[in-house]
Chain A
Amino acid sequence: MKLNLKIWRQKGPNDKGSMVSYPIENIDGDMSFLEMLDILNDQLVEKGDDPVAFDHDCREGICGMCSLYINGEAHGPDRGITTCQLHMRKFNDGDTIYIEPWRAKAFPVIKDLMVDRSAFDRIMAAGGFVSVNTSGNTQDANAIPIPKDDADEAFNAATCIGCGACVASCVNSSAMLFVSAKVSQLALLPQGQIEAMDRVKNMVAVMDEEGFGNCSNTGACEVECPKEISLENIARMNREFLKASFVK
């Protein structure tokens, strides 16, 4: 298949950047999207051009490193997958494909399609944990029974891979889905409830400081999330925060 790629090129954080067209041929439907970019990059290197910088690592949809805003959607047109799991069979011969980096003030572009998502790490460092030392001298794992539904719900929230698609898709660049997934996971478990109030307040405070936008409940994040994290987590965080604001 023959494609016309329109890729955001930006030399560095301070460069203005622009969309550049790259025609590419002989793309097979079985290739993953990133393999298609690999081919483009090999061609660019052979021509002596600067290859397109993009983040990727595990290429099986779990590390959360790959990003890319493809044809107007985070992780492209398919649902429930990351860019590395997107296959070229989703496109047609002759298609024009727009490839852009995540766009958010809190995710500054490093180069081309690579962005800096360390804001997420800083939010996590503000409270995304249970304050228990790793000594292993805790009580027996089965000492606290947890209802299966709660455990499953916590698991579903915990499957967040921190890719940032929620922020990228959100018309407001809000990080609520990411933050609420962690808040929810720990609020649903007895181990996490002890610090739940401080956690939600501290994480939200850092989230605001980092310059993410405000949630307006559009639900775009849930649709584009490769792990299909539910909007319900955002409601739960709103609840937790409200409670914390009144109590503490």
Chain B
Amino acid sequence: MSKSVLLKSSLAKKYWMALTGLFLCLFLVGHLAGNLQLLKAGEEGRRAFNEYAYFMAHNPVVKILSYLTYISIIFHVIDGFLLFAQNRKARPVKYAHTRPQENSSFASRNMALLGTLILVFIVTHMQNFWYKAKISNGPFPLHTLVKEIDNQEYDPATGAIVNKKQDVKLYLLTNGQYQMIDLEDKDNIELRHNTEIYSKKLDVKVAEGYKDLHSLTTAFFGHDNSKYGFPKNDLATVAVIFYVVSMLVLIFHLWHGFSSAFQSLGLRSKKYAPIIITVGKIFAVVVPVLFAVIPVYLYLTK
């Protein structure tokens, strides 16, 4: 393999765009599958979502995928800007009068603009959730699972100790088991790094709690979750509109991007082109619409 060709040539840049783009499409599917948990009602939904979030943050395979996602985004962005800059240079004098709408779609001509808007969205989105969940060292409320419990019986599904007619707080132990812990027992229990629960006496991590991302999310889109420690977001309306509009932008980006990736990789042929284009368009609409449904739903059900 000649390395310089695969880095420098204009075609190679397109391959990278296509590969990273398609990978990000896969990421979207995974992300969407998790986010759809937000549509589940009540405590059940809250728990499902938080479990999903926990899984995403802790599974080693997912971890690799997530790093790949970061790299893909960064590469897609940098490569995209390089291409854009080159393309601008390729026509130093612009047409005085041009009617590109006669020969190409709006989306196809404005991938860089659409991509930039999506980048703005991603940054905002990450600040809204990812940063708070992952980076920020500030206090972050943990998920308190409220269960109706039979007397001292074990739930066969989760292995949690259950107690009848009593609200208990369950946390996931580092070994995957559930245990009842009284966080108010300040003498024996200490919370470190936001989610890790230590026994003061033994100085041993006895459990790890969920960060309550579900409540964070619902609060962000307008739910009054002050009981969980999340103040209501006064700008929820703006947030919902911003998220919906961003998904609209994503529709356009994918509308062209999906089938374009196949074209760039040379995977399109007369026989398969119609399938690729159709699948691409369905993907481009369905995925962002489902994403957009979530904040709208949350906003409306507050």
Contacts and interface: CB of A to CB of B under 8 A. Distances in A.
Are chains A and B native binding partners rather than an unrelated pairing?
A: yes
B10 A237 contact: no
A80 B260 CA distance: 24
Contacts of B175: none
A174 interface: yes
Contacts of B5: 201, 245
A211 B266 contact: no
B90 A73 contact: no
A208 B5 CA distance: 11
Contact of B266 (A6, A71, A103, A235): A235
A134 to B, nearest CB: 31
Given A214-B13, A214-B14, A216-B87, A238 B93 contact: no
Given A105-B91, A220-B104, A241-B9, A235 B267 contact: yes
Which range holds the interface residue count of chain B?
35 or more
Contacts, number: 153
Interface string B91-115: 1111111111011110011010000
Interface string A190-214: 0000000000010011011001111
A239 B12 CA distance: 11
Contact of A173 (B90, B103, B264): B90
Contacts of A215: 10, 14, 264
Contact of B95 (A100, A218, A223, A239): A100
**A interface residue count range (under 10 / 10 to 19 / 20 to 34 / 35 or more):** 35 or more
B104 A219 contact: yes
Interface stretch (B29-37, B181-189, B193-201, B268-276): B268-276
A58 to B, nearest CB: 24
A224 interface: yes
A73 B111 contact: no
A8 B89 CA distance: 21
Given A72-B97, A77-B102, A224-B103, A218 B11 contact: no
A73 B102 contact: yes
11 contacts: A71-B99, A72-B99, A73-B99, A103-B93, A205-B9, A218-B256, A219-B105, A220-B104, A231-B263, A232-B273, A235-B268
Interface of A: 6, 8, 17, 19, 69, 71-73, 77, 98, 100, 103-106, 109, 169, 171-174, 201, 204-205, 207-208, 211-220, 223-224, 230-232, 234-242, 245-246, 248
